[in-house]
Structure 1
Amino acid sequence: MLPGPRPVARAQEFVSYETGQVRPLLLSADGSRLVAVNTPDNRIEIFAVAQDLTPLFSVRVGMEPVSLAEAPDGRIWVVNHLSDSISVVDINATPARVTHTLWVGDEPRDIVFAGQNRERAFVTTAHRGQNSPVDPAFNTPGIGRADVWVFDSTSLDDTPGGNELAILTLFGDRPRPLAVSTDGLRVYAGIFLSGNRTTTLAPDNFTKAAPTTSADGVAQPDTGLIVRFNGSNWIDELNQTWNGFVPFTLPDYDVFEIDAVALTEIRQVSGVGTILFNMVVNPANGNVYVSNLHSRNHVRFSGVASRASTSARGHVTDQRITVIDGAGARPVTLNKHIDFSNPAGTADERDRSLSTPLDMAVSSDGEILYVTAFGSGKIGVYDTALLENNSFSPDAANQIAVSGGGPSGIVLDEANNRAFVLTRFDNGISTIDLDTRLETAHLLMFNPEPADVVNGRPFLYDARVTSGNGNDSCASCHIFGDTDGLAWDLGEPDGSTVRIPNVFIPISPANGVTFHPMKGPMTTQSMRGLRGHGPMHWRGDRTGANRTGGETLEEAAFKEFNDAFDAFAGLGSELDDTDMQAFTDFAMRISYPPNPVRPLDNSLVGEQIRGEALFQSGVVRTQTGILEVCVQCHTLDPAAGLFGTAGLSADNSQTGEKNFKIPHFRDQYQKVGMFGWGFNSGPVTGPQVRGFSFNHNGATSSNFIIADLGMPQADLLALRAFLYAFPTESPPVTGQQVTLTSGNAAAAADRITLLVERGQVETPVPECDLVVHGVVAGESRGWSMDRSGSFQPDRAAESALDRSGLEALVVDPDDRLTFMCTPWGSGTRIGIDRDLDGVLDGDEAVP
C-alpha cells in the first residue's frame, strides 16, 4: 500500500520536543522563593512561599529549560536544553530578569555549584555542538563523548556567550545527572544512556536457543545475536562464549567523581545502571544515590512466548536506586515485591510499584529519601538505612500520591514540614505535607501545549494504566519519547509469517514476500519525527495498511503498537480506541531537535560540502561496479518534510532478513561511539563508550559504516561528515540566543546578525521566528520579528521597530535584551502573546 499523501513543512504555534526535565525545582537558600522551570513555555516561574504559592514573576529564558541551580550571589542559573545555553536570572530584581546568556555544548541537562566557595557552575552536555570549541571527532575511536562545562560565577562579564573556565571530557556517551558532596569539593557526573555491557554480533548463522522456526514452520532468517559481558566473558542466553567475536571492551563507566577544585577525575564507578536519571548525596554519610533503570535487553522475545523459554513480557527493566560509597556501586531494586513469573501482575503489586524514578531529595539528617516516580504519579519515601542495606519492603503506605501526574522534581522545605513537587503531565506544582504525607495544594502553571499533547502524554509514561504490574511503560525503552541506545531481540516465537504490503522502490524490489515474526536484534527507534515518514519499525512491519477514514498511514501504523501493552508490559489487554487515539495524536507531534553539527546558518562546510555532492550524485560500489545514488532511496526534501526517507521499503542486500523500510538520517551523529570490526581493515580494539552503533541491529561499527561501498577514504569521510550534519525538521539555529547589554553591542553584533538573517529566510521554508525579550527602562518587554526584519512590540499602541531602534533601547547598565530564534510559527506566542488570546502580553497583567 502506498504511503499516501505526504506532509509539507508547516508553521506551528507549538512544537513538541518532549524534553526530559532533570532538576526542575529550586527553593532559594533563604527559603523565601520557589523557582520552577516551565519547560513548554520556555520560562521559569518564581513564587513566594510564605504561605501558599504566590506567583511573583514569570521570566522568559531559553527553549526547553530543564534544570535550576542557585549561585552564591543568589542568581538562578537555568539550563536550556534545546537552546544549548544557560540563562543567568536575577530573581531579586524587580522585575526579575536574565542578566547573562552563556553558550554551552549540545543538549545541556543538569547544573550544580561546587568548589571552595561553591562558586563554580558545572553543566553536563554532549561532546559536540555549534557553541562548543571541542572537536567531536566522530571518526576517532576510544574517546569520551560526555562533557562537563565549568564556569566561575564570580567572573561573569558582558562577553556574548560567556567564558568557560574549563571543559572536562568523560569516557561515556551523553551525560545527564550531577551531584555535589556535602563539602562542595567533589562533583559526581553520571552518563545518561550509559549502557550495560551488551552488544550485538552481526549475523553469521549463529546457534540460538529454540525455537528457530515460526509457528507456521518457517525457519528464522539469519539474524544477529545479543551478547553481554559477565565480567570474564561475552556470553549469550545459552551461556555460550563469544569472546573472539567482540574486538573491543566496554568499561561501562557510569558515574565519575571529579575534584571540583583541581578539575580532575578522581575515580569512575561502573555497574550503576543502564539509564541514569538523577543523583543526590546523603548529607549524613556522603553516599550518592542514583535513580536509574537496568535494561534487560539480553532477554529474548516478547509476548506469551509459549514456544520459548524466555520473554521480556512484564519485566523489561528493573527500577532502581543505586548506592555509591567508597567501595563502589550497590544497586537496589525498588519493585522487589513483584513476582515477575506472572507478567500480568496483581492489583496489589501495581499499587506498591514505582516506575521511572527521577528526581530525589534527602532529609537534612540523612534519614529519609524522597523519590519522584514519574511513571506512577507518586513520591516514594525510603528509610535510607533500610534502602542502603536493601532490607525495606515496598509498601503503598510509604508512597505519596500526587494529583497532577508525572512527578519530575522535588524540593524539601523542612522548616515548614512540606515539600514541593513539579508534575510534568499537567505542568503543575503540588504542595506535600511531610507529616501527613498528603498533597495539600496543587497549582497549575501556564501551559501552551495543545490538548492532544497533554492528553496523550500519560500513555507513554504511566505504568499504572499501561502495564500489568506497574513496573514498565513504553518509556522504559523510549526514554522521554526517544531511544535507550540499546538493541533488543523482541520477536514473537508464537507468531507466524505475514505478507508484506509495503511499497518498495523500483530499483530495490522486495526479496521475499513475508515478514518473519522472529526478527532478531533491533535497536530501539525514537518516537521523534514519525509524521510523514511511513511504516514503523526497522522493517516497516507496523504497516498502516488498514488505515480508515482520514487517518494517515503513520497514524494507522502507530496504532498497530497497541498490542505491545500486553506483549511487553503485560497489561492483559490493549488500550481502548479513545486512549490509543490520544496516544497517537501525542506521538505524531514529537519533533527532532536541531542537528548540533550543521552550522547555525544552515550551510555546509569543509568535508560536508563534498559529502552532500556524493549523496546527490552517488558512488560506485567496488564489489559490483554499480553506481549507487544515496538520494534515490534516502529522500531529502525539507520543504516536503522528508529527511532521508519517503516511507518506502527496499531490499538492503545484507545477510539475513533483507526487507526493510528505508530509514531516515536525522540521528546519525547520536550513534557514534562503538568502534570495532572494520571493512578490509583490522578491528579497532580497546574501550568504547557504546555497545551499539549503526544499522538496524546496532552491530555496524562507527569505523565500518558505509565503508563497504569501497570508496576512497577521502570520499568516505566526506560522506560521513554530511550524514552527521543531516538536517532535521528543526533548523540548526532553533533555540539559539544572545543577550545584548549596554556594554557588548559590538561583540554581540555578529550573533544578532546571524539570528536576524535566519529569521528572514523564506525558502525552501522559513527557518525560525526571531523573538526578543528582556528588561529595558525597568519594564519586562517582548518583540517578535516579521520576515521584513521589523520587530513587532508586545503593546498594541506602540509602533514596530527596526533593529537599530530596538538595540537603542539598551542604555542603562541594567538593561538587557535577549534575541532567540524560535520554531517557525511560534514567534507570536513566545514573543508577544503568550496565550494567543489577541491581547498582547504588554497590555495585560502577566506576572
Structure 2
Amino acid sequence: MPKAPPTVRLLLLTAFLSTPAAASFTTFESGQVRPMALSPDGTRLFAVNTPDDRLEIFSVGTGGLTHTSSVPVGLEPVAVAARSNTEVWVVNHLSDSVSIVDVGTDPPRVTRTLLVGDEPRDIVFAGPGGNRAFITTAHRGQNSPDDPELTTEGVGRADVWVFDATNLGSSLEGTRLTKVVLFGDTPRALAVSTDGNTVYAAVFHSGNQTTALSEGLVCDGGASAAPCNVSGFTMPGGLPAPNMNFEGTPGPETGLIVKFNQVSGHWEDRLGRNWDNAVRFSLPDQDVFRIDATASPPVQTAAFSGVGTILFNMVVNPASGKVYVTNTEARNEVRFEGPGNSGCAAPPCTVRGHLHEARITVLDGASVLPRHLNKHIDYSEVPSPASVRDRSLATPVGMAVTSNGATLYVAAFGSSKVGIFSTAELESDSFVPDATNHVVVSGGGPSGLVLDEA
C-alpha cells in the first residue's frame, strides 16, 4: 500500500488562503489548473490567489512556509509556472493575459503583460533550453489578432499559444512564436515530458461520442414500436422501456441519446440498435494531443481518444514517461435517475449514484488505459454504506509524481482529500481503494498540489 515517503512534503492549495473581510465583489469562480509552482531551487513557493487577483510568494524552510510577498497580476489568475528562480509567469483567466513577474527584485513586480486568446488556463515551459512558453486558450478572444472562424466548419477550437521567452518582441501584446490549433473544444491542462521535448494538451469538455436524437427521429410507440421510415430513412424503433411511470401513465414521446461504438463503428442506443441513419455525420473523439516542442515551429504529432469526458489535469511520470490524466466519464446514454426497477429492458437502467465515474487515465505509448478510482462501489446498493464514501475520491484534479516515478498524489476536489497511489498498481489496475491511502484536507477542496522532496 502506498505511503508518503518521509522526506516528501505535500504542499496543497485549497479554495484559497483565508483573507480578511473585505467589501463585496464579483467573482467568476475561474477554475484553478496549475495553482502552485516551486522555484527551480526549491526555496520559494508561488501560488495564485484567484479571487484577489494576486500572486502569493512563500519562502520554503524546514519549519514550513512563510509568506513573503503579494504581487497584483491580472484578473482571476489560474496557473503559474517558474521559468527560473527569478522569473515567474502567471495565466490570468479573466483578463485573457499572462503576467511575467520578476521575483528577483524587492519587492517583486510585473515587468511584462502578454495578450493571448480567450480564457487561458494553463502554462508550461518546454522546447530548446526550456524557453518556450505553451499556453492553452480558446480559439477566439478579445486580444486575439486571428479570425475566430466562428461559422467555419471543420476548424479546431482549441489553441495552444507559443512564445519564445527570450524573444518576446516590443509590441504591447508580445510576439507570438506560433499558435498550434487542435481539433477539439476549449483546452485546459498541459504537461511536459521530462526531457522537455514533448508537450501534451488536453481538451477540457472533450466529450465521449454521444449525441442527442430529436423526437422526430424516434419511432412512436415505445419499446413495442417497429422500425419506421423518417424522411426516406429507416429508424430501428422507439424508446426503450420503461415507457410508463409507476402509476401506469405512459410517458411522452421524446428524443434519445445514442453513443458511437468504437468496436462496431455504429451509433447505438443501450439496446445495441443501429441509429446511423439518424446521425449522418462522424463525431471525432480527440481528447489529448501530443506536440513536438522542439520543432520550428512546434506542431501536433499525435492525438489520443477515449481518455474521458471531462479532462481536468495531467502529469508525466518522470521515470517512465507515461502520462496520467485526471478525468470523469459521463454515462450520457443511460436514460433515467430513478430506482431503475420500472420495466427497464437492459440494465444499467439508472444513473442514480452512478452519473459520472472519477478516473485517472494512463497514456502508455499509443495505449489509453482508464482507471476507475472508485471501483469498490456496488452501484446496486442505494444508499451506499458510509464506509464506501470513506474509500472514495471525487473530482480528481491536480497531481504530482515523486522523482523516482513510484508514487502519485492526486487532489480530490470533491472529497477534500489527497489520494496516494502506487503508480505500478494504478497502471496495472491492481490497486484497492482504501481510506488509509487518503489525506483529509481542511479548508475546502484542494485544487492543486506540488511535492517538495528536498
Q: Which residue of 1 aligns with 2:388?
A: 349
**Bigger Cα displacement from structure 2, 156-165 vs 27-36:** 156-165
Q: Which amino acid aligns with 1:25?
A: M
How far 1:216 sits from its partner (Å)?
4.4
Q: Which residue of 2 aligns with 1:248?
A: 281
- CA-to-aligned-CA distance 1:235-289 (integer Å, 9 cap, x gap): 0012111011111112200000000021111110001000000000000000000
Distance 1:72 1:27 in 2: 10
Q: Which amino acid aligns with 2:293?
A: A
Matches within 5 A, 1:518-557: none
Q: Which residue of 2 aligns with 1:221?
A: 252
Contact in 2 for aligned 1:179/1:188 (Cα 8 Å): yes
Q: Which residue of 2 aligns with 1:395?
A: 434
Contact in 1 for aligned 2:289/2:304 (Cα 8 Å): yes
Contact in 1 for aligned 2:396/2:412 (Cα 8 Å): yes
Contact in 2 for aligned 1:369/1:383 (Cα 8 Å): yes
Q: Which amino acid aligns with 1:33?
A: R
Contact in 2 for aligned 1:315/1:343 (Cα 8 Å): no
Question: In the alignment, which of 239, 263, 273 is matched to residue 272 of structure 2?
Answer: 239
Distance 1:210 1:289 in 2: 39
Distance 2:160 2:30 in 1: 20
- CA-to-aligned-CA distance 1:431-462 (integer Å, 9 cap, x gap): xxxxxxxxxxxxxxxxxxxxxxxxxxxxxxxx
Distance 1:144 1:247 in 2: 20
Is 2:68 aligned against 1:56?
yes
Matches within 5 A, 1:744-759: none
Question: In the alignment, which of 39, 47, 50 is matched to residue 50 of structure 2?
Answer: 39
Shift in CA distance, 73/398, structure 1 to aligned 2, threshold 3 Å:
closer
Contact in 2 for aligned 1:124/1:149 (Cα 8 Å): yes
Matches within 5 A, 1:65-464: 65-72=77-84, 74-204=86-216, 205-206=218-219, 207-231=238-262, 232-262=265-295, 263-309=298-344, 310-415=349-454
Matches within 5 A, 1:614-629: none
Q: Which amino acid aligns with 2:384?
A: G
How far 1:73 sits from its partner (Å)?
6.4
- CA-to-aligned-CA distance 1:270-325 (integer Å, 9 cap, x gap): 01000000000000000000000011111111122431431100001111000001
Secondary structure of the residue that 1:187 maps to in structure 2?
Answer: strand
Distance 1:99 1:352 in 2: 47
Distance 1:329 1:343 in 2: 31
Q: Which residue of 1 aligns with 2:225?
A: none
Q: Which amino acid aligns with 1:211?
A: P
Q: Which residue of 2 aligns with 1:26?
A: 37
- CA-to-aligned-CA distance 1:368-420 (integer Å, 9 cap, x gap): 000000011111000000100000101111111111120111000111xxxxx
Unaligned 5+ segments in structure 1 are 1-11, 416-847
| TM-score after normalising by structure 2 | 0.87
Distance 2:418 2:354 in 1: 22
How far 1:213 sits from its partner (Å)?
2.7
Distance 2:242 2:197 in 1: 55
Q: Which amino acid aligns with 1:333?
A: H
How far 1:220 sits from its partner (Å)?
2.4
**Bigger Cα displacement from structure 2, 197-206 vs 355-364:** 197-206
Larger radius of gyration: 1
Q: Which has the higher helix share?
A: 1
Contact in 1 for aligned 2:309/2:327 (Cα 8 Å): yes
Distance 2:39 2:31 in 1: 23
How far 1:155 sits from its partner (Å)?
1.4
How far 1:157 sits from its partner (Å)?
4.4
Shift in CA distance, 352/390, structure 1 to aligned 2, threshold 3 Å:
same
Q: Which amino acid aligns with 1:280?
A: V
Q: Which amino acid aligns with 1:138?
A: L
Count of aligned pairs = 404
Q: Which residue of 2 aligns with 1:15?
A: 26
Contact in 2 for aligned 1:72/1:119 (Cα 8 Å): no
Unaligned 5+ segments in structure 2 are 1-22, 220-237
After TM superposition, the runs of 4+ consecutive aligned structure 1 residues lying more than 3 A away are 214-219
Distance 2:132 2:152 in 1: 31
Q: Aligned-residue CA RMSD in angstroms?
A: 1.3
Distance 2:271 2:169 in 1: 61
Distance 1:395 1:134 in 2: 50
Q: Which residue of 1 aligns with 2:233?
A: none
| TM-score after normalising by structure 1 | 0.47
Distance 1:33 1:349 in 2: 39
Matches within 5 A, 1:433-512: none
Distance 2:137 2:302 in 1: 20
Distance 2:129 2:339 in 1: 57
How far 1:65 sits from its partner (Å)?
0.5
Distance 2:413 2:198 in 1: 28
Distance 2:68 2:84 in 1: 21
Distance 2:258 2:130 in 1: 44
- CA-to-aligned-CA distance 1:762-797 (integer Å, 9 cap, x gap): xxxxxxxxxxxxxxxxxxxxxxxxxxxxxxxxxxxx
- CA-to-aligned-CA distance 1:177-228 (integer Å, 9 cap, x gap): 1000110000000000000000011112430112223444443222211000
Secondary structure of the residue that 1:348 maps to in structure 2?
Answer: helix
Shift in CA distance, 342/323, structure 1 to aligned 2, threshold 3 Å:
same
How far 1:71 sits from its partner (Å)?
1.3
- CA-to-aligned-CA distance 1:317-349 (integer Å, 9 cap, x gap): 111000001122110110011111113111111
Distance 1:337 1:216 in 2: 35
Secondary structure of the residue that 1:200 maps to in structure 2?
Answer: strand
Secondary structure of the residue that 2:136 maps to in structure 1?
Answer: strand
Q: Which has the higher strand share?
A: 2
Distance 2:103 2:174 in 1: 20
How far 1:364 sits from its partner (Å)?
0.2
Shift in CA distance, 211/134, structure 1 to aligned 2, threshold 3 Å:
same
How far 1:83 sits from its partner (Å)?
0.5
